[in-house]
Each structure stands twice: as structure tokens, then as C-alpha cells.
Amino acid sequence: MKKLVYLVVLMATLSLTACDDFLTADNKSNVTDADYFKTAAGFQSLVNDAYSQLLSIYDSGDEDNYFIAGTDMYGDGRGNINEALHRWSNLTPENGTVKNFYLESYDAIRSCYAVKHYAASALVSEEVKAKAIDEARFVAAYYYYLLVNNFGGVPLVTEFAASAVSGYPRATAQEVYEHIIGELTEIISNNNLKAQTATAGGGEASIEAAKALLAKTYLSAAWDLNNTSYFGEAAKLADQVIAGRQLKTEFADLWAADRSGDDNEEFIFDIEFTDASHDPDGFNNNYQAYFSNYYGGVEEGMKQGRSAGLPTLRMLKLFTKEDKRYDATFMRELLVKEDFSQVSTTLFKNDKTGAAIGDYFGWYANGNSAMGKIVAVYYPAWWDTLEDIKAWRAQDPENRKNTFIIPQQEKTWVMEPWGVYHDEYDPDKEGTRKFDTTDALAKTWSTQPCRKFDDCTNPNYYSKSFRDVHLITLPEIFFVAAEAYLKAGDSAKALDRLNATRVRAGLAKETTVTIDKILEESAREMFGNGQRRMDLRRTQKLVEYNNLYNEHLKGNAASIIGEKLLWPIPQAAIDANAAMTEEDQNPGY
């Protein structure tokens, strides 16, 4: 696997440090040893830096909040999802999370345009220069795609500022979309990039990735600008990326915890991470901890969950018993090394020896199975009956006789702290399930972990994962095609593209297609790695879905959200920009 080398020192040297730095040119133009960027190694370091800036969004600690908050699929757990973004609670232009997203995006864009700025004096071939410039332009276009989908129109910075600039006016959403479309179209036409890089790691921009991003851009622009011709462009480009392929790799293999699926052709563009065995202190990401509650830390033999962004019951009920993706997405069985009689009720350790008895990653070491291992907790799916649970116990009765059962249904049982069962717990009696699932989610053990992003090769790294983060995937492009064809009036092709993921998942094909069905199918396929908030806003479902499924907004979403469909332009950015005024703020703020 080809791994990009991320340069920590360079990143620290070239990053923004204050809000008003957004408009200044104190980064690369003031590097003392500017001659370094003329060398082949120095010039390549600029390209690497452009890629590494993606970490400022996708390894920021807020990457889950950026894309999942304020949607139907994710809810609070023992901790809360970012309240401003999930509940629209005090969502103002002073919001720090939104400000960080905005400023980090522009920091990254400036890093991208530094490649072209320094290319003129770089002592490398014209071919190397051209390829490097287009790689950086692709990353900049990706950032503008994120910005326009979350803020609408934003200032267009299209060149590296070699001297101080007092301000950039806010461009319209149409102007931003046209810029992205123009950049990606020219990159594709130049043909300086590799045709595809997915099977070589996916961490390098390619023509395939450019076409995929262009398809996504046309789709968003079609909705936002009410330009129906763009739906046809999005469909055409998506089909060019699909290129007649079907989804052949089993979903469980694609997302295998041993990372063996990371370089599959379905992962079109990634952020790549170095194997921890080669660099135990190297770059890692937090995705292993996301979408899971807290079950104990590594010192207790467990995976340390983030305790927020848990799947809502609405999300779980989108799956059916036949869907192979359910068990590849969620962990139903939590293992321990010793019987409960040795377990402290406050710590997941042996009372006498102090040894950790959790065995979360033992499930993987045992061949992705709990057979022959003591199961502490079992999470039946919403469709499982009491008879199903009894049958599960009967498969390994000695190791499952004391297993605590927590069904993923409207009524469930609660256990907290560890080993303390609440209120007439009896797994053989339906009537004893007296806790609403929404309330139970605030308890540590209330919902099964998400295992889709587990890294079982490094079980001692707390919440760290060294798996690649997949930013553009082939299944997503099938959904882009389905949505685009539907809006373009070709339901037959839309249905065909929609059914591609269903066939792989072992489900019957849909016979009709709607926006809701596309959103439901993408939820199942892309739990945790999609951009749900952006999808709902684009398809004009943000208010509707929050009104139906967000526990904090049910029945009142229209009045709470109001005009705040986009994030606010950060006040700090307006104040620092001489070309913007309060009138440039988004509606509702």
C-alpha cells in the first residue's frame, strides 16, 4: 500500500494560527529556507502538505459532528452530539465548531495554491509540475465543495497570496459551483493525473476521483441552483466512474477490521494512514471510537467509545433481517475473559487481581466469532424475538448462561454500572422491558458498538485507528447516479443504480424509486462514512427528517430550524474581511 508521508513540521510551519490570518500571506512566502521548495523533495513536500490538510477536517475531533449532527440517523448517548449543530441550540456566527471548519478549509485552500505558486521555480520536470498543480487543485476543489454545501456562497480565493490582501468579497453559490466545475473539468481535460489510484492506496488524486467529485458537484448545484440540466451532467459523470462495474466485494470484507479491504477499488479517494506497527506514534484517526457508547477503556480490555453519535432506533430499523450489512456494521456480542462473579461493579476488572477482563477484540482473534468465548452482553436486533434469543443462547449455553440481553427495540433493559441489572430484569419476559430506548441510550451499555471502523490489528491504542478514511466511494457514486437519473426523469436507470447496493447486501431489488428510498439505502450502506447532513440539506429533507426523527426537534423542527438551513458565516471571518459586511451573513442569523 502506498502511503503518503505527512510532514508534521511543515504542517505546523504553514498552518494558520489566528482568525485574521485568513487574509494574510505569512505562510510559505516567509519560510526562511525558501530554496528548499525548489528542490524535488521540497516541492513534493508542498504537495504532501496539500493532502495532509484534509486531516484538519477529518481528524479534528469534530469530524463526526461536521457530517452527522442534525440528522435522522444519529443520536445522543452517554454524551451529547454537538448541541448547536444537532439541536440548533445557540447556533450563532460565534460558534467555535463552525468557525474552525471554515478557517481550516481556507487554510487548506491556501496550502493547495502554494503548489502552483512555487512550481515556477521548482527544479523538476514540467510533467511533475503539471501533475502536482492538478493534484492540489483537486484538493482545493474538494474543500470548496464542502464549503458551498455547508455555507452556500463563500469568498473565492483562487491564487496563493504572495502579499497581504485586505479582503475577498463573498461569491454567490452559483459562482462557487461554477469555479469547482471549471477546475475539475480542466483537471480531467489536462489528464495529468493517474487514471485511478484506489487499488494503489487511494490517497492520491486521480481522474476517477475528479470525475466523482464533479458528479457530486453537479448534483448539489442542480438542487441549489434549480438547474435541471445539471442532473443529466451528474448522471453522465457518475456512470463514467461506475464504468459498468458492479459491487462484487462482500460488504464485511470491504470493511474488514484487519484493514485488508482498505485498498479496494471501491474506495476512490482516501486519507491514508501509516501502519502502527511501523510507526506506533504516527498519524491515526478516531473513527474506531465513533458511533459507539462507552464500554470501558483499553485498560479494561474494551474499545473506548466516544459515547455520542449513536445509531437511532430509526436508523437501526432501516435494516432488515436479510441485510448482510447489519452485522458488518454493528457488534452484537461483547466478550469477557472471566465469569461475572469476578467482575467489579465499578471497574471492568478482576476484584482480586485487578486484571482487565474485557475482551472486545477477542471476537476478531476468534475468527469473527463468539463461539467458545464468554459473552458479557448480547444485543439482539430489533427483529429478534424471545425465541431467537433462546436459540442464540443454546448455541453455546455454558458461555452464554449469564449473558445480559439488551434488545435494540422500543423497550429495552438497562444495566449500569457494569453488572447491575435494573428493575425486574428477566430476559424471558417481554413485559419487563420498561426503559424507552431513547432514555436507555444515556446509559453506558445501552446500544451495540459500531464495528465498521474497528482496527483489530492495534487493539491497545485506545480509540486510535490506523485505517484509511474513505472520502469518496463507489457505492456513493451509485447513489449520486440514482438521484441524478431520478431528478432527470429516467426512473429506470435510477432504479438500476439504486439496486446495486441492495443486491450486494442480499436484499430484494426495489421496484420503485424515490428520494426517500435513495436516502434510506444510502443510510444503510454509508452509516458512519457518509455526509448525512449535507445529503438532507441538498435534497430539501433536512427539516422534514429532523421533524420526524431527531428526538430534540420532533414536531417542532420547522420553527426551531427556521431559515438556518446553512451554517452561519463565522463572525470572525466577516470582521477580518474588508470586502464583507453583516449583509453577507446567511439567513436566520
Q: What are phi and psi of 339, to 5 degrees?
A: -65, 155
Specify the higher pLDDT residue, 466 or 3.
466
How far is it, in rounded angstroms, from Cα 557 to Cα 459?
Answer: 41
Specify the higher pLDDT residue, 179 or 406.
179
Return the C-alpha cell found at 335.
466478550
Q: How far apart are the first and last CA of the chain?
A: 46
pLDDT at 380: 95
Domains along the chain?
A: 1-171+555-589 (1.25.40.390), 290-440 (no CATH), 471-554 (1.25.40.900)
pLDDT at 439: 76
Spell 107-128 as b/e; 16+ CB within 10 A means b.
bbbbbbbbbbbbbeebebeeeb
Which residue(s) pair with 334 in the sheet? Answer: 377
How many Cβ atoms sit within 10 Å of the Cβ of residue 579? 14
Instruction: Find where cell 420526524 sits.
Output: 548
What DSSP state is assigned to residue 451?
-
Q: Considering only 217-226, 435-444, 498-507, which range has the smallest mean pLDDT?
A: 435-444
pLDDT at 19: 36
The model's confidence at residue 442, banded by pLDDT at 50, 70 and 90, is confident
Q: What is the phi-psi region of residue 296: left when phi exceeds 0, alpha when psi lies from -120 to 50, beta otherwise?
A: left
pLDDT in tens, 140-194: 999 999 999 999 999 999 999 877 788 999 999 999 999 999 999 999 999 999 9
Give yes or no for residue 382 having a pLDDT over 50.
yes
Q: Are 298 and 358 spatial neighbours (Cβ–Cβ below 8 Å)?
A: no
SS3 state at 233: helix
How far is it, in rounded angstroms, from Cα 121 to Cα 123?
Answer: 6
Return the C-alpha cell found at 498.
439504486
Average pLDDT of the chain to the nearest whole number: 89
Q: What is the pTM of this model?
A: 0.92
Q: Considering only 40-49, 409-418, 480-489, which range has the smallest mean pLDDT?
A: 409-418
How far is it, in rounded angstroms, from Cα 362 to Cα 356?
Answer: 13
Measure the CA angle with vertex 397, ends 394 and 403; round to 5°.
105
pLDDT at 252: 98
Beta-carbon contacts of 443 under 8 Å, excluding residues fewer than 6 positions away, are: 78, 293, 414, 415, 416
Percentage with pLDDT > 70 across the chain: 87
pLDDT at 201: 85
How far is it, in rounded angstroms, from Cα 501 to Cα 324?
Answer: 11
pLDDT in tens, 555-571: 999 999 999 999 999 99
How far is it, in rounded angstroms, from Cα 294 to Cα 303?
Answer: 8
The model's confidence at residue 13, banded by pLDDT at 50, 70 and 90, is very low
Q: What is the phi-psi region of residue 259: left when phi exceeds 0, alpha when psi lies from -120 to 50, beta otherwise?
A: left
pLDDT in tens, 273-304: 876 555 555 678 889 999 999 888 888 888 88
Percentage with pLDDT > 90 across the chain: 72
Q: Are 118 and 159 spatial neighbours (Cβ–Cβ below 8 Å)?
A: no
pLDDT at 6: 28
SS3 state at 554: coil
pLDDT in tens, 345-354: 556 677 777 7
Calculate mean pLDDT across residues 526-550.
97
Give yes or no for residue 10 having a pLDDT over 60.
no
Specify the higher pLDDT residue, 282 or 52.
52
Which residue(s) pair with 170 in the sheet? Answer: 155
pLDDT at 340: 64
Closest CA to 227 of 212, 236, 217, 237: 217
